[in-house]
Structure formats: C-alpha cells, structure tokens
Amino acid sequence: MPRMKPDVLQEYLEQPYVGVIATLRKDGMPYTVPVWWLWKPDGIWITGTYNRVWCKQLLNDPRASLCIESGPPMTGHVEFDGRVTAYHKDTFDIWPISKELATKYVGRGDPANAEAVEKFFANMQTEPRLLFKLVPEASRAIDMRVYRGKRADREFQGSRGDAE
C-alpha cells in the first residue's frame, strides 16, 4: 500500500480538509461527526463545545478515530486512532489553538479572509468551548493518487476480466 511520503503527509495535514471523528456511545456503538482539526507534533487538536453529543462522549470515553479524506488535487486518506485529552478553558488557554483552527478553516490561507476569521473567532469565544488533543496510537496515510489496490484485488479483477 503506498503510504504517503513524509513531505506529502506534512502538506496534506496543513490543508483545511474536514475530518470525521468517530467516538463511542455508552453502549459501545460508534458515532461519527465532521470536525475541524489541527495537526501539531504533539497530537491532533479538535475544537468542540460541551453541549455537542460527540464531546460528551469523548468526556465519557476518550477513545476516538479521526478520518481525513480528500479528493483532487491531493486525493488521500489519513486516519489517526488513539485517545483524547480534554482541555478546559478554566485550566488551559484554549484560545491560541482555537484561533489557529479558525484561521485554517475560515481564513483558508487568504489574507482577504482576515475579517471573517476575527468575527468567527469572536463568536467562538462566546460559546462553552473546549479542546481535545488526540494522541495517535495508530495511524494510516495513503496517497490515493498512486494507490492501485491490493495485489489480491488486482489479481481478482484480472481473473474476472479473463473469464468474461
């Protein structure tokens, strides 16, 4: 399986792709929801609010998976499995990372969006917000631009073509 080369992975993780986090309900069933995330060397930071179901679930059970997929031009799949640590604004300054998240997703690397970032960030500060840091215990990163399927899949597909 063609893993992403380190330089490609670094570029991929800087993009404002929306991730999907999987959390666990009390009965063990998974629950998924799209989230904004920020990769840093110490883990993946995710912002949420106390009233969101997935945040309540992470506070109850810290196990999670974050899946990040994208289409062209950088078609890929990255997934991180691990446990989160919750960071609360009364004991941790959540705002610098929260602002980085707003800049990544609202700003999208365009200085013309600076005012929109400031407005969004100001609104974030009115919400019952917290951060989670997902520390990966396992990860997968596939560069789909060069992925051709597993050998067994290719062999099966080839044998079906010969039979027809």
Please report the domains of the chain, with CATH numbers, ordered by start residue: 6-163 (2.30.110.10)
Q: What is the pLDDT of residue 164?
A: 41
Q: Label residue 131 exposed, middle or buried (CB < 10 Å: 0-12, 13-18, 19+).
A: buried
102 membership: H or E segment, kind and range: helix 95-102
Q: What is the pLDDT of residue 103?
A: 96
**What would you report as the CA-atom Rg of the chain, rounded to the nearest whole angstrom?**
19
Q: What is the mean pLDDT of the segment spanning 63-92? A: 92
What are the tokens at 9? Answer: 């992975």
Tell me how far apart the alpha carbons of residues 95 and 77 are, in angstroms, rounded to a whole number.
29
Q: What is the pLDDT of residue 70?
A: 84
Q: What is the pLDDT of residue 148?
A: 54
User: What is the DSSP-derived secondary structure letter of residue 36?
Assistant: -
Q: What is the pLDDT of residue 143?
A: 74
Are 116 and 107 spatial neighbours (Cβ–Cβ below 8 Å)? yes
Q: What is the pLDDT of residue 162?
A: 45
Beta strands 37-40 and 30-35 are: unpaired
Q: What is the mean pLDDT of the segment spanning 151-157? A: 51
Q: What is the pLDDT of residue 8?
A: 84
In whole numbers, what is the pLDDT of the chain averaged over residues? Answer: 88
- % residues pLDDT > 90 (the chain): 70
Q: How do residues 138-148 score in pLDDT, each as one tens digit? A: 988 877 667 55
What are the tokens at 87? Answer: 């960071």
Q: How do residues 96-120 score in pLDDT, each as one tens digit? A: 999 999 999 999 989 999 999 999 9
9 or 4, which is more confident: 9
Residue 17 pLDDT greater than 80, yes or no: yes
User: What is the DSSP-derived secondary structure letter of residue 4?
Assistant: P
Beta strands 30-35 and 19-24 are: antiparallel
